Structure 1
Amino acid sequence: MRPTGQLHLGNYFGALKNWIQLQYQYECYFFVADIHALTTGYDDTTDLESNVWSMVIDWLAAGLNPAASTMFIQSRVPEHSELHLLLSMVTPLGWLERVPTYKDQQEQLKHKDLATYGFLGYPLLQSADILLYKAARVPVGEDQVAHVEITREVARRFNHVFGHERDFEAKVEKAIKSLGSRNGTRYKELRRLYQEQGDEAAIEQARTLLDGNVRLTVADRERLIGYLEGTGRSILVEPEVLLTATPKVPGLDGRKMSKSYGNTIGLREDPDVVAKKLKTMQTDPARVRRTDPGNPDKCPVWDLHKLYSDAQTQAWVQAGCRSASIGCLDCKQRLAEPMLAEIGAMRERGREFEENRDLVRGIIAEGCEKAREVARQTLEDVHQAMGMNYR
Structure 2
Amino acid sequence: MKEAIFSGMRPTGSLHIGHYLGVLENWKILQENYKCFFGIVDWHALTTKWQDSADLKAYIEEMLAEWLSCGIDPKKSTIILQSLVPEHVHLHMVLSMLTPVSWLERNPTVKEQARELGIEEQLTYGHLGYPVLMAADILIYKSKKVPVGIDQVPHLEMTREIARRFNFHYKEIFPEPEALLAEFPKLLGVDGRKMSKSYNNAIYLKDDEKSVNEKVASMITDPERIKKTDPGHPDVCNVFSYYGVLFKSELFQVRERCEKAQIGCVDCKKQLAKKINEILEPIRSQRNYYLSHKDMLWDILKSGSNSASSYCKNTIREVYEAMKLNYPI
Spell out the pairing of 1:141-152 with structure 2 (5 A cutoff). Answer: 141-152=149-160
SS of aligned partner of 2:39: strand
CA contact (8 A) 1:126 1:147 kept: no
CA distance in 1 between counterparts of 2:120 and 2:25 reads: 32
Q: What is the aligned counterpart of 1:257 among 195, 199, 218?
A: 195
Please state how far the C-alpha of 1:113 moved relative to its aligned partner. Answer: 5.1
Please state how far the C-alpha of 1:156 moved relative to its aligned partner. Answer: 1.1
Q: What is the aligned counterpart of 2:268 among 311, 328, 331?
A: 331
Cα 1:351–1:322 shift into 2, 3 Å: same
CA distance in 2 between counterparts of 1:139 and 1:113 reads: 33
Question: What is the match of residue 194 of structure 1?
Answer: none
Q: What is the aligned counterpart of 1:247 among 158, 180, 185?
A: 185
Spell out the pairing of 1:60-79 with structure 2 (5 A cutoff). Answer: 60-79=68-87
26-35 or 280-289: bigger deviation: 280-289
The one-letter code of the counterpart of 1:71 is I
CA distance in 1 between counterparts of 2:271 and 2:93 reads: 53
CA distance in 1 between counterparts of 2:65 and 2:227 reads: 43
Question: What is the match of residue 48 of structure 1?
Answer: 56
Spell out the pairing of 1:88-107 with structure 2 (5 A cutoff). Answer: 88-107=96-115
Cα 1:20–1:253 shift into 2, 3 Å: same
Q: What is the aligned counterpart of 1:303 among 238, 241, 245?
A: 241
CA distance in 2 between counterparts of 1:74 and 1:331 reads: 43
CA distance in 1 between counterparts of 2:99 and 2:140 reads: 16
CA distance in 2 between counterparts of 1:113 and 1:15 reads: 32
Residues 17-41 of structure 1: per-residue CA shift (max 9 Å, x gap): 2111111121111111110111111
CA distance in 1 between counterparts of 2:295 and 2:47 reads: 29
The one-letter code of the counterpart of 1:327 is G
CA contact (8 A) 1:99 1:146 kept: no
The one-letter code of the counterpart of 2:206 is R
Q: What is the aligned counterpart of 1:120 among 111, 128, 142?
A: 128
Question: What is the match of residue 266 of structure 1?
Answer: 204
CA contact (8 A) 2:105 2:128 kept: yes
Aligned pair 1:344/2:284, yes or no? no
Question: What is the match of residue 292 of structure 2?
Answer: 355
CA distance in 1 between counterparts of 2:321 and 2:155 reads: 27
Please state how far the C-alpha of 1:151 moved relative to its aligned partner. Answer: 0.8
Cα 1:390–1:248 shift into 2, 3 Å: closer
The one-letter code of the counterpart of 1:249 is L
CA contact (8 A) 2:111 2:120 kept: no
Number of aligned residue pairs: 320
The one-letter code of the counterpart of 2:46 is L
CA contact (8 A) 2:61 2:291 kept: no
- The root-mean-square deviation of aligned C-alpha atoms, in Å, is 1.4
Residues 99-119 of structure 1: per-residue CA shift (max 9 Å, x gap): 221222222221475422111
SS of aligned partner of 1:260: coil
CA contact (8 A) 2:234 2:255 kept: yes
SS of aligned partner of 2:204: coil
SS of aligned partner of 2:94: helix
CA contact (8 A) 2:320 2:327 kept: no
CA distance in 2 between counterparts of 1:146 and 1:111 reads: 23
CA distance in 2 between counterparts of 1:2 and 1:386 reads: 31
Residues 147-187 of structure 1: per-residue CA shift (max 9 Å, x gap): 21111111111011111xxxxxxxxxxxxxxxxxxxxxxxx
The one-letter code of the counterpart of 1:293 is P
CA contact (8 A) 1:61 1:346 kept: yes
CA contact (8 A) 2:14 2:59 kept: yes
TM normalised by structure 1 equals 0.79
TM normalised by structure 2 equals 0.93
Question: What is the match of residue 2 of structure 1?
Answer: 10
Moved over 2 A (4+): 111-115
CA distance in 2 between counterparts of 1:310 and 1:158 reads: 46
Please state how far the C-alpha of 1:334 moved relative to its aligned partner. Answer: 2.3
Residues 331-358 of structure 1: per-residue CA shift (max 9 Å, x gap): 1222223311110010111122122212
Q: What is the aligned counterpart of 1:287 among 225, 241, 244?
A: 225
Please state how far the C-alpha of 1:55 moved relative to its aligned partner. Answer: 0.5
Structure 2: any 5+ residue segments left out of the alignment?
1-8
Q: What is the aligned counterpart of 2:22 among 6, 14, 31?
A: 14
CA distance in 1 between counterparts of 2:83 and 2:163 reads: 22
Aligned pair 1:134/2:142, yes or no? yes
Question: What is the match of residue 157 of structure 1?
Answer: 165
CA distance in 1 between counterparts of 2:297 and 2:128 reads: 33
SS of aligned partner of 2:228: coil
Q: What is the aligned counterpart of 1:379 among 287, 295, 316?
A: 316
Structure with the greater alpha carbon radius of gyration? 1
Aligned pair 1:369/2:306, yes or no? yes
